[in-house]
Amino acid sequence: MDLLLIIANIFVIFVLVNFIYSKNKSFKDELKVFRESHDELEDISQIGTWYRNLGTNKLHWSPLTYRIFGLNPLKKRITSIDFYKAVLPEYRELIKAISTRTENSNTPYDITYKIRRADGQIRTLHNNAKIYFDTAGKPFKMLGTCKDITDEKNGLVEKLHQAKLATLGEISAGVAHEINNPLTILFATSKKLSKLTSLDDQHERLYNIQKKSLERITKIVTGLRTYSRIDELDYQNFEINKSVIESSVLVENIFKNDGVDIVLELHSDDVITHGSTGGFQQVILNLLYNSKDAFIKNHQKNVIKIQTQKIKDKIQILVSDNGPGISDQHVSKIFESFYTTKPAGKGTGLGLSLSKSILEDMNGNLHLLKTNHMGTTFSIEFPVVN
């Protein structure tokens, strides 16, 4: 009887252990599924997660958070020191201050900052976090999210930039129209006065100065009116040399004040191509401004040269400068959208990418012909229209 009781008890214990084990295994399986689902949800939302132990100051990152920072979780376990090394110096104290404020007063942890990834890329991140307190009211952990918003920020900057350009285009068109009317009257009266009176040498010289000035204003007005119509992308035959001259006239005095001379070497016969005059002018102006921005201060003589030449059934436009050139690390990326070597706020990184697209739509092309410490040359090519 005692033996049977012992056997019965052993059986009951075995059943209980098996039941507990199966439940535990089921829980572990569910936990594994949950973790896998969590990783999938992160990939879908592109929002990483992280956990910080406030007692030990240890960080725990999800796989996506590691990837956002350009790191491999299998190769390196992240620490607070590693995190702050990745953060750009100007944001480190801000993050520390917000973290301290959140821990002390339970205020929201909501911050946007920039990092330099392991591959050298600068990325803009946005973090949200919540702090947790123990029964004694002491903060013991922080749970948070991490999202890479670089593309969103660049998109917003570009929208603002395009809005500015659209407004500028409208203003330019209005100003050009307003100037054009009195300009026509000035031309007519000036010409009439010169015929009514016989001019001595001094007055003849003054008249010629006035005439040249009026012609210059006319060119600027024409350039503004053409450039302000860029969004229409009205494709038609246009003269390359004439468009180059109109573009350079718009900025030559501005450049000269900054110590930059624009030199034109144009093909003797004006060559005609088909496309958008405004689009072509935007490309030329973009290349001119890129060259100007690249010049080093106190450079003895800054020169940008625009050459046009006919090669068989194509017209080639070369825009060259004697600046410091483009470094090897940037050459392969200059036509990528949002890639810029200019300081923050100076360029959107859309200039060359957009220029290339504009020209390709016109059956033309844009490429970097050469660059070294003596300068840079970009080449534009169009098919010639007979």
Asked if residue 376 belongs to a domain, the reply is yes
Mean pLDDT over residues 256-276, rounded?
A: 88
- Report the CATH number that the domain containing residue 200 is assigned in CATH: 1.10.287
Same domain assignment for residues 340 and 356: yes
SS3 324: coil
Give per-residue burial for 255-281: e unless 16+ CB within 10 Å, then b. beeeebebeeebeeebbbbebbbbbbb
Tracing tokens 């002390």 back to the chain, one arrives at 104
Q: How many folded domains does the chain comprise?
A: 4
Same domain assignment for residues 295 and 385: yes
Residue 292 near residue 258, CB atoms below 8 Å: yes
Same domain assignment for residues 264 and 359: yes
pLDDT score for 57: 86
pLDDT score for 126: 92
Distance of alpha carbon 87 from alpha carbon 1, whole angstroms:
75
Token code pair at residue 344 = 């923050």
Q: Is pLDDT at 379 greater than 90 in this prediction?
A: yes
| pTM of this structure | 0.48
Q: What is each CA distance from 158 to 151, 155, 187, 253, 351, in whole angstroms?
A: 10, 5, 41, 28, 11
Q: Find the Cα–Cα–Cα–Cα dihedral 219, 223, 225, 229, rounded to 10°.
A: 160
Return the minimum-mean-pLDDT range out of 108-112, 263-267, 302-306. 108-112
C-alpha R_g of the chain = 34
Tracing tokens 């199966």 back to the chain, one arrives at 22
Distance of alpha carbon 156 from alpha carbon 276, whole angstroms:
27
* Single-letter amino acid, residue 377: T
Q: Find the Cα–Cα–Cα–Cα dihedral 327, 329, 330, 336, rounded to 10°.
A: 170
Same domain assignment for residues 217 and 292: no
Q: Are strands 260-265 and 302-311 parallel, antiparallel or unpaired?
A: parallel
Which residue from 368, 380, 302 is spatially nearest to 331, judged by alpha carbons? 368
* Single-letter amino acid, residue 71: L
Asked if residue 315 belongs to a domain, the reply is yes
Chain-centroid distance of CA 357 in Å reads 15
Asked if residue 233 belongs to a domain, the reply is no
> Which pLDDT tens digit goes with each residue over 193-218?
666 666 677 777 777 777 777 777 77
Asked if residue 171 belongs to a domain, the reply is yes
Asked if residue 85 belongs to a domain, the reply is yes
* Single-letter amino acid, residue 189: T
Helices (H), 46-70: 63-68
Which residues lie across from 148 on neighbouring strands? 125
Same domain assignment for residues 115 and 78: yes
pLDDT score for 55: 85
Return the minimum-mean-pLDDT range out of 18-22, 184-188, 210-214. 18-22
Between the two ends of the chain, the Cα-to-Cα distance in Å is: 116
Same domain assignment for residues 126 and 73: yes
Same domain assignment for residues 295 and 336: yes
Residue 307 near residue 381, CB atoms below 8 Å: no
Residue 240 near residue 256, CB atoms below 8 Å: no
Same domain assignment for residues 276 and 379: yes
Q: Is pLDDT at 86 greater than 80 in this prediction?
A: yes
Asked if residue 135 belongs to a domain, the reply is yes
Distance of alpha carbon 75 from alpha carbon 86, whole angstroms:
16
Same domain assignment for residues 244 and 364: yes
SS3 287: helix
User: How long is the chain?
Assistant: 386
Q: Which tops the pLDDT comparison, 242 or 328?
A: 242
| Domain interval for residue 35 | 1-40
Same domain assignment for residues 55 and 86: yes
